[in-house]
Amino acid sequence: MARVGVFICWCGANIASTVDMEKVTEAAAKLPHVVYATNYKYMCSDPGQKTILDAALEHKLDGIVVAACSPRMHEPTFRAVAAEAGINPYRMQMANIREQCSWVHGDVDEATAKAVDAVRMMVARVAQSLALEPIKVPVTKRALVIGGGIAGIQAALDVADGGVETILVERTPSIGGKMAGLDETFPTLDCSQCILTPKMVDASRSELIKLYTYCEVEKVDGAVGNFKVTIRKKAKYVNTELCNGCGDCWHKCPYKKIPSEFDFGVGNRTAIYVPFPQAVPNIPVIDRETCVFFKTGKCRACEKFCLRGAIDFEQEDEFEEVEVGAIIVATGYDLLDHTQMGEFRYGAIPDVITGLQFERMSSASGPTEGKILRPSNGEEPKVVVFVHCVGSRDENYKEYCSKICCMYSAKHAVILKHRIHDAQAYLFYIDVRAGGKGYEEFWKRACVEEGAEYLRGRVSRVYDEGGKVIVEGQDTLSGEQVEVAADLVVLATAVVPAKGSEELARILGISTDKDGFFNEAHPKLRPVDTATGGIFLAGCCQAPKDIPESVAQGSAAASKTLGLLSKEDITREPTVAVVDPLICTGCWNCVNVCPFGAPEKSEITITVDGKKVTRAVSNINEAKCEGCGLCVATCPGNCIDQRGFSDDQVYAEIGGYLERVRAAKNSD
């Protein structure tokens, strides 16, 4: 007989208000294998853990059942307690009587009976549980950062600062991300480029950071500590060894009217281009889609004028496989497409622009060299309307608050006043959210000192008439309908995950929330981790964030990465599949079904009737096995079992439940 102790947690009132603690304790004490049962208000607290430690010694326990919350919450906690008490951590099981019982039921008697069932099942299971030892795997001391915006750059710099080689993958031709395109930043109005470009240069000069610009992550295999990542290096059609970034090619390119992605269409670029003058690396790429040579077979102007012979039209996409121990995802955001919104006439009004387009115009290095102009006629706008919450906090589009818009709209109003002194800004808002250091003061400054007119209410529609953009809305403070004849309308459109996030989530095997942002492992306590070991998040790919928050999360993800990669070995869960070679027939169903390539074709030599026989059998590579159970379910001969989820354990658990049925029958 095993010697199992049962520890039942009240979780304050979370469990105790619906489940009768004493009854469960009493029932637990009577179960086979159980030598001790007790309850306590907070089993996860220090005194709670001590209760377990003391009881383990006193009653010589060799198995523990903690009836409390979900194992997703506290399994690591109680496994550690078990280890400290000298009990194998895999002989600790949690009975979930909170999420799966007290929280979802109201009737005390029924909930108590269900809690007793859960305890009985777990006691039966623990009695069958084998002691398991964690598997140790050597760690690849190299990190991958996906996305070269401010969050990714910060993460890469910090990881490199910790002495670890870092690969920074960016899909556009330059690192810098959205921040490189911004004008001044709130609330201090320091120039975005001035604070960002030195970091970009640092990243490119660091010996430990390898920049992979114009590249995308194609495939990810392996697991925490040992990922194998395939990177697609998109053809630049420029030999990066030979190119010195002189600019002759893009100046000579005859095709100059391509809307620039970096300028959000406010400015144009050529077919061979660098996105902006301060690009890192300062090496152009040829956009195959718009290059006239790729379309018609004629031109090659760039090639003719390149004195270094760096243009190479023969290049093709290349693939490179890299091995890394950890991955930081920092893929950033895009803006909701307002040209899909009827209330703004589906983008048919040229003088209705987005906040990022305004940034490109007001940026000194932008296409208008800092001049704010009406796209329709190039004139200076005198009346500018800024609309908050376009598609955010709106049940028709995105329910969430995009967080940064209140502040950047206030900043835009201030910048407008600084550039065009006689201009008037109107801001339509729902309420101003200015939580952050110096933020409240900043928007007040916009309001009081810079004369921005704040109108509390939503905009109902925007249309063009007589050369003006008419904005109709509501001022809920005066109770009036208001109409502003504007020269320019700037929409603070909702922040949405960057295009391609969904595909990347699939490649990485991480989850997204209902809006497509990557999910953190815990909304409060693990905001940087994903549920997949070794993959961390930074910046707006997780939720809308401003620059300081993105930088902070970049650093946090770097510190998590360094913590992981500082170890020589990584311990992996021992709950992996095992093949019984004596009955395996080598059908290879497991080999075919495994997404991780863990089952390997192997041989076994056995003695049958005094003769040595060699047979082909499957063998699971523990370093690769993720413990998903696919092979276990697939094996037609039932030759594969999963440690920690063995048939014996699962059948014992089911048997534990059936006890209740049996008892009910007997009492009839």
Residues that bind other proteins (CB under 8 A): 341-343, 345-346, 396, 461, 463-466, 470
Pair 281, 204: CB distance under 8 Å: yes
Our CB check for other proteins shows the closer of 346 and 651 to be 346
Our CB check for other proteins shows the closer of 491 and 537 to be 491
Our CB check for other proteins shows the closer of 291 and 471 to be 471
- From CA 37, how far away is CA 21, in angstroms rounded? 11
On the 0-12 / 13-18 / 19+ scale of CB atoms within 10 A, 13 is exposed
Q: Minimum distance from CB of 460 to other proteins (Å)? A: 9
CA distances from 353 to 186, 263, 266, 418, 422 (A): 20, 12, 9, 20, 21
Cβ count within 10 A of residue 117: 18
- Angle CA 81–83–86, to nearest 5: 115
Pair 16, 98: CB distance under 8 Å: no
Our CB check for other proteins shows the closer of 132 and 349 to be 349
Angle between helices 108-128 and 647-667 (to 10 degrees): 140
Structure tokens that stand for 295 in this block: 């379309």
Q: Minimum distance from CB of 337 to other proteins (Å)? A: 15
Our CB check for other proteins shows the closer of 399 and 449 to be 399
Output the DSSP codes for 581-614: TTT-----HHHHH-TT--EEEEEEEEEETTEEEE
Q: Minimum distance from CB of 480 to other proteins (Å)? A: 12
Q: Minimum distance from CB of 395 to other proteins (Å)? A: 11
Give the three-state DSSP class for 156: helix
Q: Minimum distance from CB of 465 to other proteins (Å)? A: 6
Pair 195, 548: CB distance under 8 Å: no
Our CB check for other proteins shows the closer of 297 and 466 to be 466
Q: Minimum distance from CB of 466 to other proteins (Å)? A: 7
Q: Minimum distance from CB of 505 to other proteins (Å)? A: 30
Our CB check for other proteins shows the closer of 350 and 563 to be 350
Q: Minimum distance from CB of 217 to other proteins (Å)? A: 39
- From CA 266, how far away is CA 280, in angstroms rounded? 22
Our CB check for other proteins shows the closer of 345 and 567 to be 345
On the 0-12 / 13-18 / 19+ scale of CB atoms within 10 A, 140 is buried
CA distances from 129 to 115, 119, 132, 549 (A): 21, 15, 9, 45
